[in-house]
Each structure stands twice: as C-alpha cells, then as structure tokens.
Amino acid sequence: MSFNPKIVAFLCNWCSYTGADLAGTSRMKYAPNIRIIRVMCSGRVEPTFVLSAIKEGADGVLICGCHPGDCHYHEGNYKCLRRYKLLKKYLTQMGYDPERLHLEWISASEGKQFAELVDAFTEKIRSLGALNAKQIIETLT
Amino acid sequence: MTNQENKKKINLAIYWGAACGGCCVSVLDVHEKLFVVTEYADLVFWPIALDIKYKDVEEMPDGFIDVTLFNGAIRNSENEHLAHLLRKKSRILVAYGSCSHLGGIPGLANFHSKEEIFQRVYYESESTINEDRVRPLQECVVNEGTLKLPEFYNDVRSLNQVVDVDYYLPGCPPQTERLVEVFLAIVTGAELPPKGSVVGAYSKSQCDECKRKRTDNKVIKKFKRPVDVIDDGETCFLEQGIICMGPATRGGCGARCIEGNAPCRGCYGPPPDVIDPGAKMLSAIATMIDADKEDEIDAIIESIDDTAGTFYRFSLPGSILRRKLI
C-alpha cells in the first residue's frame, strides 16, 4: 500500500479558512490528506499545537494565515511568523526535517492557491516519507 | 520518649536515581531543623546518609514507608527497579527535584543515543585513554562468579514515565524552606492537595514575583549571552536581550538566581496547565522578537545559541517530543 501522508492544517478564520472554503465551493480538487483545524488567528497557533500534532501522528503540519499587513488583529500573523521560524530551528535540532512544517499566507480570495498549496505540500511530505514520531515518542528504549 | 509518641512518627525514605546529590544535600540544608524532622519521622532508607541495603527495603511490608522523596531521573535499570520497589513500599511517592519531575539536567542526554554516549565516554573524550577499547558489559564472568551491572537505557525518563507519582516538588534543588513546609503539612495531618499536584511551588510565574524593573513592551533586537552584557542589576533580563526562563517557570524558589544577578534557567518547571515548558517559552520569546521581515527575524533567531537546550534545560524527557529523533 502506498504511503498516504497525514497532514494537520491550522487555518486562520478570517483569510485562510475562507480561502479553503472558496476552494471547496468552487469545486476545486485537491489532495484529501489534510485535516483542517480552524483557529481565530494564525497568531493563536502555539508551538505546543504543532508538537502535539506531531506526537499524535501527523507527518506534516501546515499553518496558513492572512498576508502580512492584512491580519484581522493587526499583527497576529507576524507573531505566527516569528514562532514558526523559532519552532523550525527547534525541530531541526530535535532531528526532524524542518520542511515537515510549512507556513503560507492565503487570502480569502485565494482558493486556487490553497488547492495548489495542499497538493504541493502533500507531495513534499509524500517524498519525505512517514514520520512515525508517535511510535518513537511513546516507546521508551 | 514513650511508645505512644513513637507511634506517631512517620517512616520517611529518600532515594536518588540519576542525580548529582544536590537534592539530598538540600534535605540536609534544613540544618538544625533536622531535629524537627527526626522528631516527626524515622528515616528508614537514605543511601547518602544511612547504611540500609536494597534487600532491607525489599523486606519491608508494602506501604511500610509513609513518604518517599525520590530525586533523580531514571537512567538505568537500577533506577527503574528502585522506582518500582519504592512505589510498592510507599504510601506517598514524591518526585523530588527537577530530575524526577521532568528529567532535569541528566535528561539532556536525550539529545543523543546510548551508542553516541558510550562512544564519547569510552573512546573519544579528550581525557580517555582506552587502547584496548574496553567498554562495560552488563555481565562478566570471573572466577568467583558472574558480575552484573545495571542496564544503561537509551532514554532518560522522568519518574512519572516509570511509576505512578503522588506529588511533585520541583527545583534544582528544591528550596529547603518549601520542603519543610510540605513535610510539616504531611506530618501534622493537614489536608493534602489532590494527587498529581505540584507542591512547594506557586502557581504563578517567576516574573510575577520578580523584583526587577520591567515594561509591558518587551522587544528584542539581538539575543545576548550573559557574558556579553554589563547587567545594571535592576532591568528585566529579557529587556536586556538575555534569555530568562521566568515567563514559563513557576515561582516559589525565592528567585535565587535572579537575586544573584543570573537569569532564571527554569528548574521549577512550567506553571499549571502548561503541557510543554519549552514550547511555552519559545512562544513567549518569539513574540518579543522585534522584526517583521523574514530575513530580520532569521538574523535575530540566529543569535540564540542552542535553542532546544536553552528552552528545555530541565524538561527534555518530560516534554512532548521527549527526545531527539534518531
């Protein structure tokens, strides 16, 4: 059986989730591998959320927020960007491929870009292979 | 002392797993209050101070020990065996100190595998001369019989990853005053907090009790090591660009490091409801970075040495990812 990546996506309520909604209502086809979690702002995405997703078996994590300057709360997406950068540095040090975590800006009108992003990210994770972090974290050796 | 009075005494045990001995010394730091301790308690097992063998503990009836203070992480099979044994023999098992609470400093070994550690220690370190490439075996047959050593595990574990723990008393080492408070609460029959509670520490963060001057608008242009800054002795460390674990660490230690003009390193562990102490700190630090452009953010983050080791200095085995992926 071929590897089917599990991807957790945190989408901000105001831009990216609406963008994903647009992709859906426009009947655009994209990879069915993502599990979307709607958050009010990408600034709400704590590093703990991402680490928990990895622990629970995600092969990749995607975060989407409003374009810089467009945040509904003015600067939540900048906070997200800084956390994302720092988290990537931490993940790299912990032996995880930093490409398994990805941040992208998706506006409410970018349904097509969202569909393409999901396809591209799914392929990227597929090429990286299964992560199996859950098993490694839970098995004490 | 009459028998009546003797009966009131509790049986107290103190044991060390993978520890430096500092926790045991913090118990000795009660100084003359040791007489208060011995007035209320019989020390039935304490390897650093008393000659009581493991087999003596094995012969105790189950639940014989009222309180065990277990310090140190679980590094090898001997630590694990004693954790199980003391759990069986104790009514209350307390994870005492950072190492048994979240893994502590020995837990930083989770950045490496057992094999890497053995390579370094027995072959590669600058002070090692080992021409015959000898390395310890778990079993070795000699004329007199078989010699056995405990198994060294790949992972360092916190106490609650091995046995059920009743209470946690954090700190590296725990503040002795807090220990005395907790001890007196137990022996005087005060109502104990729910199982699984952290005792001997506050629920608010270190920053809450910090005396240094701070503003609400923390902005950091560059992270500095303490050696790079001439500390004025009164401004918040973070505002001076020095990483201080205060925002993601419990108060209760009396801010000993900060009083000594050193930033908090996070030994008291995270405040209540925080799952992953390092991630919480990472989150707090990231919001202070004073840049919006990607390359500027990268440059500021670049100035943090050893991200994982700094934010998870005392808590790697107790964190979500638990160890480096190898």
Average pLDDT value for residue range B12-18: 92
For the cut 70, the answer to whether the pLDDT of residue B208 exceeds it is: yes
Residues B236 and B289 in one domain: yes
pLDDT of residue B2: 46
Residues B295 and B146 in one domain: no
Strands laid side by side in the A34-39 sheet: A34-39, A7-12, A60-65, A101-105
By the 8 A CB rule, do B71 and B24 touch? yes
Number of H helices, E strands in chain A: 5, 4
For the cut 80, the answer to whether the pLDDT of residue B269 exceeds it is: yes
Average pLDDT of chain B to the nearest whole number: 89
Is A96 part of the contact surface with chain B (CB cutoff 8 Å)?
Answer: yes
B154 contacts in A (CB within 8 Å)? Answer: 141
Strands A7-12 and A60-65: parallel
- How many domains does chain B contain in total? 3
By the 8 A CB rule, do B200 and B217 touch? no
Q: What is the pLDDT of residues B122-141, one digit of tens each?
A: 999 999 999 999 988 899 99
Considering only CB atoms, B308 lies closest to which of A52, A82, A93, namely A93
For the cut 70, the answer to whether the pLDDT of residue B251 exceeds it is: yes
CA distance B265 to B198: 18
In a domain, B192, yes or no: no
Give the C-alpha distances (Å, rounded to integers) separating B122 from B135, B142, B153. 6, 22, 16
CA distance A45 to B187: 45
Residues B256 and B217 in one domain: yes
State residue A82 phi and psi, 5-degree precision.
Answer: -65, -40
Using 50, 70 and 90 to split pLDDT, how confident is the model at B305? Answer: confident
For the cut 90, the answer to whether the pLDDT of residue A137 exceeds it is: no
Considering only CB atoms, A137 lies closest to which of B157, B309, B322, namely B322
Residues B13 and B162 in one domain: yes
Q: What is the pLDDT of residues B64-85, one digit of tens each?
A: 999 999 999 999 999 999 999 9
Residues B179 and B31 in one domain: yes
Burial of A120 (0-12, 13-18, 19+ CB in 10 A): middle
Considering only CB atoms, B282 lies closest to which of A78, A90, A136, namely A90
Residues B57 and B90 in one domain: yes
pLDDT over 70, % of chain B: 98
Residues B88 and B237 in one domain: no
Is B313 part of the contact surface with chain A (CB cutoff 8 Å)?
Answer: no
Is B316 part of the contact surface with chain A (CB cutoff 8 Å)?
Answer: no
Q: Is the dihedral of CA A79, B264, B304, B154 positive or negative?
A: negative
Residues B10 and B44 in one domain: yes
In a domain, B193, yes or no: no
Residues B92 and B117 in one domain: no
Average pLDDT of chain A to the nearest whole number: 92
For the cut 70, the answer to whether the pLDDT of residue A1 exceeds it is: no
At the top level of CATH, which class does the domain A7-138 belong to?
alpha beta
Size of interface A-B (CB pairs under 8 A): 94
In a domain, B321, yes or no: no
Model pTM greater than 0.80? Answer: yes
Q: Where are the domains of chain A?
A: 7-138
In a domain, B236, yes or no: yes
In a domain, B326, yes or no: no
Residues B67 and B169 in one domain: yes
How does DSSP assign A67-93, residue by residue?
Answer: PTT--TTSSHHHHHHHHHHHHHHHHHH
| Range with the poorest average pLDDT among B33-37, B60-64, B79-83 | B33-37
Q: Which residue in A has a C-alpha nearest to residue B298's C-alpha?
A: A85
Residues B132 and B80 in one domain: no
**CATH number of domain containing B45:** 3.40.50.700
By the 8 A CB rule, do A82 and B287 touch? yes
Domain, as residue range, for B44: 3-105+155-187
3-state secondary structure of B73: strand
Look up residue A2 and give its DSSP letter. -
For the cut 60, the answer to whether the pLDDT of residue B258 exceeds it is: yes
Residues B118 and B163 in one domain: no
Tokens matching residue A133: 């972090």
In a 13 Å sphere around the CA of B130, the CA atoms on its Cβ side amount to 15
Q: Which residues of B203-212 are buried (b: 16+ CB within 10 A; e: fewer)?
A: eebbbeebeb
Considering only CB atoms, B320 lies closest to which of A55, A78, A81, namely A55
Residues of A (16-75) whose Cβ lies below 8 Å from B: 46-48, 51-52, 54-55, 68
